[in-house]
Amino acid sequence: MCAPTAKLLSSGRSNNFNGEGTDPMATYKQIQEHTQNEYGYVPKTCWIAHVMSDYGLTRRTAPNRQSADKRTNPCPPNKRPSIEQTLKHFGML
């Protein structure tokens, strides 16, 4: 059986899908776990999506989003810095 191959991204980072190395984007679950361990709370996925969209990191609007031009649960200003730090930790910012 062949081992999973690593693809070199244009950024020069390796994209390993076998759990080794650094992935180009962390999952929402990884972001939530890191934020909980470092800052003591679990951010809502909509807060993470809000911060990521402000930096242009989202690919599309979620299909379950109520309104295309209004957020029902925007990221609270006091939670934003810790989510940004977590995104920096994973190399996304």
- Residue spans of the domains in the chain: they are 25-89
The pLDDT assigned to 61 comes to 84
Handedness of CA 65, 71, 72, 78 (dihedral sign): positive
Handedness of CA 73, 79, 61, 15 (dihedral sign): negative
- Answer whether residue 13 shows pLDDT above 60: no
Compute the distance between CA of residue 2 and CA of residue 69 in angstroms, rounded to an integer.
Answer: 46
Handedness of CA 6, 9, 12, 17 (dihedral sign): negative
Tens digit of each residue's pLDDT (9 = 90 or more) over 15-55: 433 344 445 789 999 999 999 999 999 999 999 999 999 99
Tens digit of each residue's pLDDT (9 = 90 or more) over 56-86: 998 888 888 888 888 889 999 999 999 999 9
Compute how many other C-beta atoms are within 10 angstroms of the C-beta atom of residue 28. 14
